[in-house]
């Protein structure tokens, strides 16, 4: 069997699903991008809900503080009214005290004048050495003597009574002044207490106004963040809508490609059915040449993950881990090496004119074209393709029966 025939068969097989695989990868990429956009949109929506809740709390706090401010201002106005009333009362008391002091001063002046008169009278009586009875000696007659004695006694009694009245009035006025002074001190203390309360309320109002200002600034900041979040959500929703439209378009293309591939495969099966012998004459896979013996399992320690024919004319073998070693199934030589980004490296070994094996999803091979290999020799490691998991290998066995070369189930030769 010529090398060109084997390579042509291999390229036709690999190219069969290449367009579909590429389109699937494109659809998966767009769906992943759409999922990321959806996650970002949900995150933006959650941020919007959180900002709305915070704004509601801030608004409630502002309303509570405004109510507290109104209460404080009402209390300040009430205290100011009480202070004005006390100031008027204090002014009235001060005026009463001034009037009382003026009356006291006048009484003291009158009392002093009266005392001066009495002292002058006493000095006059003593100078004449006869005391109060001296004026009586100057009487010209008994009748005159009686009149003089009566008037001297009357004048003395009147002056003494007047002094007593002045002293009693003066004492009462001083007591009234003391009472008014105590009342003034009490009202002044009350006014001072009201002033202190008013200052405290004013301080509380200033503090509350500062808090209100801070809350309003915070509220404006939250509103700005909310506007940004709403704009970002709108942008993400538009981007998500565009991505979803692209996903739908690429899915339609994928369905078209799959339908085209299905029709191509049906056409190929129809042609093969037309060229192949009737089903009743189909023979099982031919035995391997005696020089080859049984094939070695290509992935040491691995297992058959997908049987032959379930996903295509090959077995899917799974290794123990990503980057598992891949070995030659039998002695032979490297007939060809092909690289496709989605499928990695593919190595084809020719063992005899009637037997070849193909290994797909290798990293960069450890062998070269034309190199002789022995059974069990490591060809490379799994994990070279983008669309195939890194611990898997697609393994094909091709046999030539007469003039026909076809892929068969490798399980018949282990």
Residues near 369 by beta carbon (within 8 Å), at least 6 away in sequence: 334, 335, 336, 337
Q: What is the pLDDT of residue 11?
A: 58
Q: What is the pLDDT of residue 165?
A: 80
Q: What is the pLDDT of residue 410?
A: 93
- Alpha-carbon distance of 260 to 361, in angstroms, equals 25
Q: What is the pLDDT of residue 14?
A: 55
> Does residue 282 fall inside a structural domain?
no
Q: What is the pLDDT of residue 282?
A: 41
Looking at the fold, whether 177 and 88 belong to one and the same domain comes out as: yes
Give the residue numbers spanning the domain of 98: 17-277
Looking at the fold, whether 67 and 216 belong to one and the same domain comes out as: yes
Looking at the fold, whether 164 and 301 belong to one and the same domain comes out as: no
Between 44-53, 118-127, 256-265, the lowest mean confidence (pLDDT) is in 118-127
Looking at the fold, whether 33 and 78 belong to one and the same domain comes out as: yes
Share of the chain above pLDDT 90, in %: 22
3-state helix, strand, coil in the chain (%, to 5): 65, 15, 20
Which of 216, 244, 277 corresponds to the end of one domain? 277
> Does residue 7 fall inside a structural domain?
no
Looking at the fold, whether 337 and 413 belong to one and the same domain comes out as: yes
> Does residue 287 fall inside a structural domain?
no
Chain centroid offset of residue 299 CA: 52
Looking at the fold, whether 132 and 203 belong to one and the same domain comes out as: yes
> Does residue 246 fall inside a structural domain?
yes
Average pLDDT over residues 34-44: 84
> Does residue 182 fall inside a structural domain?
yes
Looking at the fold, whether 267 and 305 belong to one and the same domain comes out as: no
Look up tokens 């001063």; give the residue. 105
Q: What is the CATH number of the domain that holds 69?
A: 1.10.287
Q: What is the pLDDT of residue 41?
A: 80
Question: What are residue 41's phi and psi, to 5 degrees?
Answer: -65, -40
Looking at the fold, whether 166 and 257 belong to one and the same domain comes out as: yes
pLDDT at 396 over 90: yes
3-class DSSP assignment, residue 347: strand
Which of 247, 277, 307 corresponds to the end of one domain? 277
| pLDDT (tens digit per residue) in 59-89 | 898 889 889 889 888 988 888 898 888 888 8
Between 153-157, 206-210, 316-320, the lowest mean confidence (pLDDT) is in 153-157
Looking at the fold, whether 305 and 255 belong to one and the same domain comes out as: no
Residues 345 and 362 sit within 8 Å (Cβ to Cβ):
yes
| pTM exceeds 0.95 for this model | no
Q: In terms of pLDDT, which residue wins out, 284 or 46?
A: 46
Looking at the fold, whether 227 and 306 belong to one and the same domain comes out as: no
In this structure, the dihedral spanned by the alpha carbons of residues 218, 220, 224 and 230, taken in order and rounded to 10 degrees, is 100
| pLDDT (tens digit per residue) in 194-237 | 888 888 888 888 888 899 898 889 888 988 988 988 888 888 88
Between 14-28, 283-297, 325-339, the lowest mean confidence (pLDDT) is in 14-28
Q: What is the CATH number of the domain that holds 410?
A: 2.70.70.10
| pLDDT (tens digit per residue) in 229-253 | 888 888 888 887 887 788 778 777 8
- Burial (CB count <10 Å: 0-12, 13-18, 19+), residue 281: exposed
pLDDT band, very low/low/confident/very high, at 1 (cuts 50, 70, 90): very low
Looking at the fold, whether 321 and 225 belong to one and the same domain comes out as: no
> Does residue 120 fall inside a structural domain?
yes
Q: What is the pLDDT of residue 281?
A: 40
Looking at the fold, whether 229 and 310 belong to one and the same domain comes out as: no
| pLDDT (tens digit per residue) in 287-297 | 777 667 789 99
Structure tokens at 353: 């004119």
pLDDT at 18 over 60: no
Question: What are residue 319's phi and psi, to 5 degrees?
Answer: -85, 175
Q: What is the pLDDT of residue 296?
A: 94
> Does residue 291 fall inside a structural domain?
no
Q: Over the chain, what is the mean pLDDT?
A: 81
> Does residue 339 fall inside a structural domain?
yes
Which range, 10-19, 234-243, 366-375, has the best average confidence (pLDDT)? 366-375
For the chain, counts of helices (H) and of strands (E)? 3, 10
- Total domains in the chain come to 2
Average pLDDT over residues 330-354: 91
């Amino acid at each position: 069997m010529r090398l060109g025939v084997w390579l042509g068969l291999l390229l036709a097989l690999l190219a069969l699903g290449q367009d579909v695989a590429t389109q699937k990868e494109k659809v998966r990429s767009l769906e992943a991008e759409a999922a990321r956009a959806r996650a970002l949109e949900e995150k933006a929506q959650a941020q919007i809900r959180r900002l709305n809740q915070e704004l509601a709390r801030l608004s409630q706090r502002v309303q509570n503080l405004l109510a507290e401010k109104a209460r404080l201002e009402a209390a300040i106005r009430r205290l100011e009214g009480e202070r004005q009333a006390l100031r008027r009362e204090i002014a009235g008391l001060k005026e009463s005290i001034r009037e009382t002091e003026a009356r006291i001063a006048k009484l003291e002046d009158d009392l002093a004048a009266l005392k001066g008169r009495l002292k002058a009278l006493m000095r006059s009586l003593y100078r004449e050495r006869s005391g109060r009875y001296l004026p009586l000696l100057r009487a010209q007659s008994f009748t005159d003597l009686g009149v003089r004695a009566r008037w001297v006694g009357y004048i003395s009694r009147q002056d003494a009574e007047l002094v007593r009245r002045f002293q009693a009035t003066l004492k009462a006025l001083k007591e009234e002044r003391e009472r008014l002074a105590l009342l003034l001190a009490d009202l002044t203390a009350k006014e001072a207490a009201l002033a202190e309360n008013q200052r405290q309320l004013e301080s509380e109002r200033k503090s509350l106004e500062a808090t209100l200002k801070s809350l309003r600034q915070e509220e404006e900041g939250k509103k700005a963040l909310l506007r940004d979040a709403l704009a970002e959500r709108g942008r993400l929703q538009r981007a998500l809508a565009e991505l979803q439209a692209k996903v739908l378009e690429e899915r339609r293309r994928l369905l078209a490609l799959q339908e085209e591939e299905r029709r191509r495969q049906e056409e190929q099966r129809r042609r093969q059915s037309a060229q192949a012998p009737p089903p009743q004459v189909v023979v099982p896979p031919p035995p391997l040449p005696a020089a080859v013996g049984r094939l070695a399992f290509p992935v040491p320690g691995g297992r058959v993950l997908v049987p032959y024919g379930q996903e295509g004319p090959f077995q899917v073998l799974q290794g123990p881990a990503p980057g598992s070693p891949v070995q030659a199934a039998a002695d032979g030589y490297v007939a060809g090496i092909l690289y496709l980004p989605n499928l990695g490296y593919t190595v084809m070994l020719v063992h005899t004119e009637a037997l070849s094996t193909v290994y797909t999803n290798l990293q960069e091979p450890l062998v070269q074209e034309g190199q002789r290999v022995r059974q069990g020799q490591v060809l490379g490691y799994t994990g070279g393709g983008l669309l195939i998991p890194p611990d898997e290998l697609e393994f094909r066995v091709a046999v030539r029966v007469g003039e026909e070369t076809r892929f068969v189930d490798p399980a018949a030769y282990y």
